[in-house]
Amino acid sequence: MKQWSGLVYPIIFGVLLGGAVSIGPASGAEERELPMQELRAFAEIFGRIKEDYVEEVDDRELLEHAIRGMLSGLDPHSVRKACHE
């Protein structure tokens, strides 16, 4: 199973992101493309952690940590708000 997990997680992320190649605000402003190379790197790292980390990590816990990391890079108010929702 471990040999497949390196392929499964990138495929899952690819399928999830496959239909959503652009994002745009509701106001109708110009759409921006998602940074696919960075998202592929995220999926690869996610799969490697799942496969090779010393302890088993729950998918939801791992994604929650990733989200908190993204928010902490913005400002302390965003993290505090997201963690209390």
| 26, pLDDT greater than 60 | no
Q: Which pLDDT does position 34 carry in this prediction?
A: 87
Strand ranges in 1-85 using DSSP code E only, listed in sequence order = 22-23, 32-33
Reported pTM: 0.56
Q: Which pLDDT does position 75 carry in this prediction?
A: 79
DSSP the chain: -HHHHHHHHHHHHHHHHHT--EE--TT-PPPEE--HHHHHHHHHHHHHHHHH-SS---HHHHHHHHHHHHHHTT-HHHHHHHHT-
Q: 11-15, 61-65, 73-77: which has the minimum mean pLDDT?
A: 11-15
pLDDT, tens digit (0-9, with 9 covering 90-100), for 31-48? 688 899 999 999 999 999
Q: How confident is the model at residue 1 (pLDDT cuts 50, 70, 90)?
A: very low
